[in-house]
């Protein structure tokens, strides 16, 4: 799967006005062919020639109707994404005008290894997603993602708007975007469909430091330079809500576009370099205050207000670097991320007063994590020329969301974790994946159970 701009290839979207005229012309030719040609006699135009000509015209019309029916569908081969998004989320960009539907789904079974302790086994319909887009003309595009998580809102499920943006496509080098935006950090926050990453669980750094899926309200610019070898995205978005930070990371600080506090804004930017199609090197950074000028009531056990907690600015910075190589069946991917939170001591004391943190717990002033993985497609060795793939993989990951903590607090070593994941992905077609993996988890303090994971995913 590759990410590129629509301008870098010819469009193969839904037929526009020219296709409609072509269909009309085909019908007219057929009708005309049924009548004798002007000035022609039976001698001048043999019956068999007329029949052959009509068959040719009908075949051409049938081909055009079939092309009209299939255009706009997600291709099975050489899956491409545009402007940082995955292939299914990018279908609208290939149109000349009109509506597109796409989506993805995934489910997972997790069995905890009993001799390591841990939670009960679980099977979950993780999510079903619908992409809806509309292209008004060649420069104005609406795109959105609607997600149902965990099957039912009457249990632990939810229905969310994952992104919803209006794009102004001015030029390959400079375009604009406004709405509920995916923060362009890491590999998975923008391209999170299950066929396009290994393992049944996303890497922990992509959950706790880069809190995938992470979206906020905002606006910005994006584009490609140097013939598509350089791509960038730069957005201004509402900042985190620091009252959601915890010893385990930044994930609870997401506002998700829902009545988001907007006293503090942030900037997030990404730059990728693709010197040749098989190799990607890039980095991204996020910076902004997270306190949102909040002064919250501190209540006692009886619900009586006894104090006011001032949430500090809690300036938050996240940066990450990433690289990927895909060649001759091999895929190598690596990412390292680090986060910094200022005023971590004042923030931790305020959250403790509010009852959001236990005594002695702290939001760290520094967090870090990363992963590296390697995979190889062995199916071409078994069946050359087949569209199927079988990719055994190994991933090592780590995360420490308590790397540096403010003075006077105790470090929670249970948040210093390592992960070894060994498994495979089998794709009977490029759009569908069956996954199996074994994940070994260990913490500096406390026990984490190993896991056996089985999953299925698809994109359309």
pLDDT of residue 224: 97
Reported pTM: 0.84
On whether residue 6 sits in a domain, the answer given is: no
How far is 272 from 284, CA to CA, in rounded Å?
9
On whether residue 50 sits in a domain, the answer given is: yes
pLDDT of residue 22: 40
Element (H, E) at 424: strand 416-429
On whether both 61 and 76 belong to a single domain, the answer is: no
pLDDT of residue 118: 64
Number of domains in the chain: 2
pLDDT of residue 439: 97
pLDDT of residue 29: 42
The domain that holds 202 is classified in CATH as 2.40.160.10
How far is 453 from 380, CA to CA, in rounded Å?
25
pLDDT of residue 301: 85
On whether residue 9 sits in a domain, the answer given is: no
On whether residue 11 sits in a domain, the answer given is: no
pLDDT of residue 2: 61
Element (H, E) at 24: helix 17-34
On whether both 58 and 141 belong to a single domain, the answer is: no
- Host domain of residue 367: 72-459
- Position of tokens 């205050």? 289
On whether both 306 and 319 belong to a single domain, the answer is: yes
Q: Cα torsion for 324, 327, 332, 337, to the nearest 10°?
A: 0
| End-to-end alpha carbon distance in the chain | 13
pLDDT in tens, the chain (460 residues): 666 655 444 433 334 444 444 444 444 444 444 444 444 455 555 677 767 777 776 776 666 555 544 444 554 444 678 999 999 999 999 999 999 999 999 999 999 986 665 678 999 999 999 999 999 999 999 999 999 999 999 888 999 999 999 999 999 999 999 999 999 999 999 999 999 999 999 999 999 999 999 999 999 999 999 999 999 999 999 999 999 999 999 999 999 999 999 999 999 999 999 999 999 999 999 999 999 999 999 999 888 999 999 999 999 999 999 999 999 999 999 999 999 999 999 999 999 999 999 989 999 999 999 999 999 999 999 999 999 999 999 999 999 999 999 999 999 999 999 999 999 999 999 999 999 999 999 998 887 899 999 999 999 9
- Position of tokens 């569209």? 387
Token pair, residue 309, equals: 């907690």
pLDDT of residue 13: 39
CA separation, residue 268 to residues 29, 49, 179, 237, 286 (Å): 56, 67, 15, 8, 4
On whether both 202 and 335 belong to a single domain, the answer is: yes
On whether residue 135 sits in a domain, the answer given is: yes
On whether both 434 and 421 belong to a single domain, the answer is: yes
């Amino acid at each position: 799967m590759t990410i590129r701009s629509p301008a870098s290839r010819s469009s193969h979207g839904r037929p526009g006005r020219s296709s409609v005229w072509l269909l009309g012309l085909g019908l007219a030719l057929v009708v005309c062919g049924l009548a004798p040609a002007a000035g022609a006699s039976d001698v001048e135009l043999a019956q068999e020639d007329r029949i052959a000509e009509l068959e040719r015209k009908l075949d051409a019309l049938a081909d055009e109707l079939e092309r009209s029916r299939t255009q706009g569908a997600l291709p099975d081969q050489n899956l491409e994404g545009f402007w940082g998004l995955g292939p299914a989320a990018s279908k609208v960009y290939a149109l000349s005008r009109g509506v597109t539907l796409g989506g993805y789904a995934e489910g997972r079974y997790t069995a905890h290894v009993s001799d390591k302790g841990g939670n009960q086994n679980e099977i979950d319909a993780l999510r079903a997603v619908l992409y809806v887009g509309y292209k008004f003309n060649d420069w104005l595009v609406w795109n959105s993602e609607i997600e149902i998580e965990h099957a039912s809102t009457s249990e632990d499920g939810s229905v969310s708007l994952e992104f919803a943006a209006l794009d102004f496509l001015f030029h390959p080098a400079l375009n604009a975007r406004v709405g509920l935006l995916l923060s362009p950090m890491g590999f998975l926050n923008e391209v999170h469909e299950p066929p396009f990453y290994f393992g049944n669980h996303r890497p922990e750094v992509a959950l706790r430091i880069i809190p995938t899926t992470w979206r906020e309200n905002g606006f910005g610019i994006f584009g490609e330079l140097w013939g598509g070898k350089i791509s960038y995205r730069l957005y201004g978005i509402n900042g985190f809500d620091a009252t959601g930070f915890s010893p385990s990371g930044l994930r609870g600080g997401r506002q998700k576009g829902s009545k988001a506090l907007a006293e503090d804004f942030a900037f997030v930017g990404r730059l990728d370099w693709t010197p040749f199609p098989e190799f990607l090197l890039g980095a991204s950074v996020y910076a902004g205050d997270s306190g949102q000028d909040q002064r919250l009531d501190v209540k006692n056990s009886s619900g009586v207000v006894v104090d006011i907690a001032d949430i500090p600015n809690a300036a938050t910075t996240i940066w990450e670097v990433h690289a990927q190589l895909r060649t001759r069946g091999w895929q190598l991917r690596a990412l390292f991320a680090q986060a910094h939170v200022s005023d971590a001591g004042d923030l931790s004391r305020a959250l403790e007063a509010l009852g959001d943190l236990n005594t002695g717990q702290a939001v760290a002033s520094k967090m870090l994590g990363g992963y590296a993985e390697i995979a190889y497609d062995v199916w071409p060795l078994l069946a050359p020329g087949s569209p199927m793939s079988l990719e055994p993989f190994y991933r090592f990951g780590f995360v420490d969301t308590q790397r540096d903590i403010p003075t006077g607090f105790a470090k929670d070593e249970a948040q210093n974790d390592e992960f070894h994941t060994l498994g495979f992905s089998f794709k009977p077609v490029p759009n569908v994946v069956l996954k199996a993996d074994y994940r070994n988890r260990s913490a500096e303090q406390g026990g984490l159970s190993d896991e056996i994971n089985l999953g299925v995913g698809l994109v359309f």
